[in-house]
Amino acid sequence: MGPAFEPAARMRRYRIGAGQGFYGDSPGAALDMARHGEVSAIAFDALSELTLAILQKDRQRDPSLGYTRDLGAWMKRLLPIALDRRIALITNAGGLNPEGAAEVVRKAADGRPLRVATVHGDNLTERLGTLAVPLDHAVTGAAFGEVSDRVVFAAAYLGAGPLVEALSRGADVVVTGRVADSALFLAPLVHALGWAWDDWDRLAAGTVVGHLLECSGQACGGNFSGDWASVPEPWHLGYPLAEVSEDGVVVIGKPPGSGGRVTAETVSEQLLYEVQDPTRYVCPDVCVDFTDVGLRDLGDNRVEVEGTRGAARPELLKVVIGYSDGWMGEGRVGYCWPHALKKARRAEEILRHRLEMVGCKPRDILVEFQGYDSLQPPRSEPDEVYLRVAVRTETRAEAEAMTREMPYLALNGPPGLGGYGGVTPPRELLGIWPTLVPREIVERDVHVEVT
């Protein structure tokens, strides 16, 4: 090869893979990534807004919990491969108790030496009162006093900084709580490729990598709205990986031999997914501008991403506060042709009378006819339909009172009832209160421990 190729050959490149898209995901694709992805790091996104509420409830029952409970099982299978191949594992599975999660990781290593880092300071649940900032709602501007007596958890979205520190201190596994999902992926790129913290275009490119990888299979044909029926072998869908060069050029792919499809079409759907302002997607380390991002099919399940631009990071960090917002009771029963919908409506009427008779007064009641109008506005009448009733109540007992009236329909209502699935146990509903807090107030308590 001529000298023209030399600079490219010297250009540092880094490969990173996605291992998990949510708490409850299955570990097969992560193992596949470790074995066949030829990656130097795998990042795992286990947290959603709802997940933190689940973890907080675990922790209230048992203070040693508060992390995702499948972490040990995942690590037991992943660590032998990752440690042999020197693949860094980066996960936010620490939830509200990163130290407890780190202990689980150490146990899962089965005596093999490893360095586990934990990131602390995102969990503001106990410190909200000491922050001395207004905590107004970031979207509506409402005053925090509306919900301040019902707080379940509070967490700040940290950036990649502490994760980069963990990696540079030699961590094999980095366990965090709430950090921006994309920061899990951006951190190893910054660490390995030496990007500066004010190199906004590259930080933006790395953030786009995170955005494309954080929902696991969704970049590779999962939930694909195009020709979904022809997505190859979706029963072992490959999770996405990215090859990133020092200058910020990104190619998305997936492990060889896995199912799924990586094309400009499948990647474009994930690129814009849950982005509310494509000109300014605010993350802790950079604001990303998607306006001129282009995708190019390279063939063989590879797509190049170019044109990402970045602007200076925000001075305010997002904090999400979860607050208790009542209880949900839910019941469901099916009716068949003829007049399926009429029967279900009659059943609804019976149920509403019964609720009145027992003095159950929900704050809200939602009636849906599944198979007819529950997922989209209705069009044509179906031959069978499920009546679903969901109520929002102040207390668990009221939610239970509603569900106790569902069985009444079994022998006393319209004919042609089937698929009586009973009722689901009442569950607590959670309001989400997003707010913004000056970065320095959050960051003064952020620290990294490596053991």
Q: Which residues bind another protein (CB under 8 A)?
A: 49-50, 53, 139, 223, 225-226, 265, 268-269, 271-279, 290-295, 307, 322, 325-326, 328, 330, 364, 366, 368, 370, 374-377, 388, 390-392, 429-432, 434
Alpha helices, DSSP H, located in 48-181: 49-61, 71-85, 98-108, 161-168
The residue among 192 and 320 lying less far from another protein, judged by its C-beta, is: 320
Closest CB 438 distance from another protein, rounded Å: 21
Between strands 173-175 and 88-91, the pairing is: parallel
**Residue nearer to another protein on the CB measure, 72 or 431:** 431
Give residue for tokens 């069978």. Answer: 384
- Residue with smaller CB distance to another protein, 14 or 239: 239
Token pair for 78: 């992943």
Instruction: Closer to another protein by CB, 174 or 183: give it.
Output: 183
Task: Pick between residue 8 and residue 272 the one whose CB is nearest to another protein.
Answer: 272
Structure tokens belonging to residue 218: 């969704």
Is 316 or 450 the residue whose CB approaches another protein more closely?
316
d(CA 240, CA 16): 9
How far, in Å, CA of 331 to CA of 124, rounded? 36
Q: Of 103, 69, 88, 98, which Cα lies nearest the Cα of 177?
A: 98
Which residue number, 139 or 358, has a Cβ lying nearer to another protein? Answer: 139
**DSSP H or E stretch at residue 211:** helix 200-213
Tokens 């939830």 sit on residue:
95
Of 61 and 379, which has the nearer Cβ to another protein?
379
Angle at which helices 28-36 and 71-85 cross, to 10°: 0
CA angle 118, 121, 124 (to 5 degrees): 135
CB of 247 to another protein, least distance (A): 20
Q: What are phi and psi of 171, to 5 degrees?
A: -70, 135
Strands (E), 212-278: 241-245, 250-253
Q: At what angle do helices 200-213 and 183-193 cross, to 10 degrees?
A: 130
Least spacing, CB of residue 417 vs another protein, in Å: 20
- Give me the least distance between CB of 197 and another protein, in Å please: 26
For the bound state, the minimum distance from the C-beta of residue 14 to another protein, rounded and expressed in Å, comes to 25
In whole angstroms, how close is the CB of 52 to another protein at the nearest point? 10
Q: What's the min distance (Å) between Cβ of 408 and another protein?
A: 21
CB 381 to another protein: min, Å = 17
The Cα-based distances of 221 to 224, 231, 264 in angstroms read: 5, 6, 11
